[in-house]
Amino acid sequence: MIKIYSPENVIEAQCLKDFLEQRHIPCFIGGQYLVGAIGELPMAGLLGLYVEDMDAGLARHLISDYLNATPVL
């Protein structure tokens, strides 16, 4: 598995994981249980979204489109 994105928080990580899995891309959130150790560990870089190597390009593209989408008002 390869890290494709570093989410800001666990909520963003879970939303993106669900988004990818709805598109049949298995995804793993790495470091989600380390966030509770803030103060003992560095605050940045704990979370990561991981996918299989063959899915990395498509997953990055989907996340980019998702994050850059214009909200519907």
2-67 domain in CATH 3.30.70? yes
Number of other residues whose CB lies within 10 A of the CB of residue 10: 16
- Kindly state the percentage of the chain with pLDDT values over 70: 82
pLDDT of residue 46: 77
pLDDT of residue 39: 54
**CA torsion 51→55→2→42, rounded to 10°?**
-50
pLDDT of residue 43: 58
pLDDT digits (tens, 9 = 90+) for 21-32: 999 999 999 987
pLDDT digits (tens, 9 = 90+) for 34-50: 655 555 555 566 789 99
